[in-house]
Amino acid sequence: MGSLTVRDLSKAYKVYPSHLARVKELLHPLGRKYHQLKWVLKDVSFNVAPGEAVCVIGVNGAGKSTLLKMLTGITQPTSGTVQTHGQVSALLELGIGFHHEFTGRQNVVMAGQLLGMSVEDIRRLMPQIAAFAEIGDYMDQPLRMYSSGMQMRLAFSVATARRPDILIVDEALSVGDAYFQHKSFDRIRNFRKEGTTLFIVSHDRIAIQAICDRAILLDNGKLAKEGSPDAVLDLYNALIAERETTTIVQNKTADGRVQTISGTGEATVSDIKLLDSQGRPIEVTNVGAEVTLEVKVRINANIPHFVLGYMIRDRFGQPIYGTNTYLKQLPILDLRKGEQINFRFDFAANLGPGNYSVTVALVSSDHHLDNNFEWRDLALVFEVVNFSRQQFAGCAWLDPVVRVQRQE
Amino acid sequence: MWNFRGFVLGSIRREFQLRYRGAVLGVAWAAIQPLAMIFIYTVIFSQVMNAKLPGAEGAFSYGIYLCAGIVTWGLFAETVQRGQSIFLDNANLLKKLSFPRLTLPVIVAGFTLANFSIAFGLFLIFLLLTGNFPGLVVLAVIPLVVVQMLFALGLGIALGVFNVFLRDTGQISGLVLQFWFWATPIVYPVSILPDWMRSWMSLNPMFHLVTAYQQIFVAREWPEWNGVLLVGCFAVGIALYALGLFRRKVGEIVDQL
């Protein structure tokens, strides 16, 4: 059985003002330092007992990946110690050491050797590895013939061919299709039943609650909370909500999507916000919460007819709901240059958990696009999180009152 | 490290497979290249151009002189060159996986030695066939290669560490190796150099090694051990320095890559 002890673990990266500074430091006879330290993890301490399953959560950049890399011995800590008892296996990134020109079987041997297995071990485990990956006759084809899902399946299968004492898993590990995700998750769960100590980074609330005994919240490189998964998840959600309210970023593009703004410019959106019921700007809201979409428009020319419309889209860009001032029978006429108009749309966020974006259109009429003053994709991005409702599936919250009648 | 012997051997084999993948003649190319080289240096230089080595008898003496120097220099240069790019080439492994990092130089050494063995083996066969085999003194090659590999690996790893932080290292080392080749009496005999140059020559570690090889194969006598011993001590020093440098900087290497 494996255990982990982490004491005052800190990591700082050296940041050089220029490339030349790095060279100067390397060659400086007296060892003068030209770098500054950027701390990404500061004085983190915790224990993971044998057979325990612990999750780490935190926003991007909180230091989770750095922590995992130090636990596995890839990255050296700047200070502090990591002690592991038992054999450690890490699923940080799959397919390391795979080469496209070699067959699946050759790559399995290579990847296994990289994990320190002997050829006999690998040969013995080969049938089981091939069976679990479910790639059939492709096993003897070069890897470049594989789909990315097949490669990932094979990689996962090798990486987990032997049950380690301690398994360290990164969140990015959603392998292949839903069926295989289940299968891989099952394998990890079975390891746990057989006594493997688990250390997992995840965002998936369901996974965390299903598998973890304890959770650790990292925030800005510090251990912000350690405790039951529920308590830590609640604090995490509150933390992101708080962070989003204090720093509102306009025209933000979520997950690298490109925002498109087009139009003639006679009217422009000067500000757009999502407000909670107390009028505070938010970017995360609860399922079913009362929210307000506030749009401020600046008028740059005299406009006889004006219509504002918006569309809420899911993360794939599919329309969820849209309306406009014409449909709501609010004619806006004879606008003067220099005017400022505030629009407020109050509604209940009866949406499923997930990311949503708002597209705003400023036009002259409902049915025509010839006077397109401004069209703004991804004008606002917000997240719906299920804080308090029962679990449900889908992108709309259509909570029913359930009656069950049984008839003889 | 011992547990990873399979990885080391597998990687060496894979390098060969990758290099000759898709070629009909496959690994035979590893033999054809040095064969062509031996042919050019011996038959063309010695027979056609009638180039003679001053003070040496035998039709093939200049060709043998060239091969003795070039085959062994090739081992040195290839080891240094692969050593200096060793961390950059394996950045992905170093960043994503926890494994004994010192397996990487072992893989480099294994690959270059295997490559060298092919060329060197062919060279020996050629000597046997033409009746120029030096006899028992050929065993002196073994300690020479050990010293040379220690020197080349030490130099290669040290350059490899610098190259992570300063990419110019890789470019510079390629240039320096070219100058170094011509600064070592491989193509020409040291006797043609003016005296002042010859006195500087003893500072060149490769001069001692290459001269020793030439002594074995051209003069067919045991090499001058004093110079080799000196280079051996120097090589141990370089190797220890490189190991220390690597151990000190390995964390930063992973951060920087």
| Cβ atoms within 10 Å, residue B70 | 21
Same domain, A77 and A195: yes
- Confirm or reject contact between B166 and chain A (CB < 8 A): yes
Decide if A391 is inside a domain: no
Task: Annotate B161-188 with b (16+ C-beta within 10 A) or e (fewer).
Answer: bbbbbeeebbeebeeebeebbeebbbee
Distance from chain centroid for Cα A364: 39
Q: Are A318 and A362 in contact (CB under 8 A)?
A: no
- What does the pLDDT look like over A135-154, one tens digit per residue? 888 888 888 888 877 888 88
- What does the pLDDT look like over A153-176, one tens digit per residue? 888 888 888 888 888 888 655 666
- Confirm or reject contact between B226 and chain A (CB < 8 A): no
Residues 111-130 of chain A with CB under 8 A from chain B are: 113-114, 116-119
Same domain, A137 and A227: yes
Same domain, A107 and A236: yes
Decide if A377 is inside a domain: yes
Same domain, A358 and A236: no
Which residue of B98, B252, B253 is the best one to mutate when testing the A interface, meaning the one whose CB has the most A CBs within 10 A? B98
Same domain, A34 and A156: yes
More confident residue, B76 or A181: B76
Decide if A395 is inside a domain: no
Nearby residues of A225 by Cβ (< 8 Å), 6 or more positions away: A216, A217, A231, A232, A235
**Which residue of B lies nearest to A93 if distances are taken between CA atoms?**
B96
N-term to C-term CA, chain B: 23
Same domain, A191 and A223: yes
Domain boundary among the residues A210, A240, A270 is at A240
Backbone angles phi and psi of B191, in degrees to 5: -70, -20
Amino acid at A318: Q
Decide if A245 is inside a domain: no
CA dist., res. B10 & res. A248, Å (int): 53
Nearby residues of B185 by Cβ (< 8 Å), 6 or more positions away: B69, B193, B201, B207, B210, B211
Which one-letter DSSP state was computed for residue A21?
Answer: H
Task: Annotate B86-104 with b (16+ C-beta within 10 A) or e (fewer).
Answer: bbeebeebbbbbbbebebb
- Confirm or reject contact between A268 and chain B (CB < 8 A): no
- What does the pLDDT look like over A296-308, one tens digit per residue? 999 988 888 899 9
Decide if A228 is inside a domain: yes
| Cβ atoms within 10 Å, residue B131 | 8
Same domain, A161 and A307: no
Backbone angles phi and psi of A55, in degrees to 5: -105, 150
Q: Give A113→chain B minimum CA distance, Å.
A: 5
Decide if A209 is inside a domain: yes
For residue A116, list chain B residues with Cβ-Cβ distance below 8 A: 3-4, 7, 99
- CATH number, domain with residue A80: 3.40.50.300
Q: Are A108 and A121 in contact (CB under 8 A)?
A: no
Decide if A400 is inside a domain: no
Q: Residue A19 has what pLDDT? A: 77
pLDDT-derived band at A348, boundaries 50, 70, 90: very high
State the pairing for strand pair A3-15/A166-169.
unpaired
Mean pLDDT for the stretch of residues B209-220: 88
Domain boundary among the residues A240, A265, A297 is at A240
Residues 83-122 of chain B with CB under 8 A from chain A are: 92-99
- What does the pLDDT look like over A246-295, one tens digit per residue? 333 334 454 555 566 667 778 888 899 999 988 888 888 999 999 999 99
What ipTM describes this predicted complex? 0.72
CA dist., res. B15 & res. B27, Å (int): 11
Residue boundaries of the structural domains of chain B: 2-256
Q: What's the domain range around A199? A: 3-240
**Interchain CB distance below 8 Å, B251 and A72:** no
For residue A23, list chain B residues with Cβ-Cβ distance below 8 A: 165-166
Decide if A170 is inside a domain: yes
User: Among partner residues B6, B251, B252, which is closest to A118 by beta-carbon distance?
Assistant: B6
Indicate whether A370 pLDDT > 60: no
Q: How many domains does chain A have?
A: 2
DSSP string, A333-385: EEEPTT-EEEEEEEEE--B-SEEEEEEEEEESSSS--SSEEEEEEEEEEEEEE
Same domain, A31 and A176: yes
- Confirm or reject contact between A33 and chain B (CB < 8 A): no
Distance from chain centroid for Cα A167: 21
Same domain, A92 and A65: yes
Same domain, A41 and A152: yes
Same domain, A334 and A264: yes
> Residue A45: enclosing H or E segment and its boundaries?
strand A36-48
Distance from chain centroid for Cα B169: 19
Which stretches of A72-139 are assigned E, i.e. beta strand? 79-85, 88-91
Same domain, A189 and A294: no
CA dist., res. A93 & res. A156, Å (int): 9
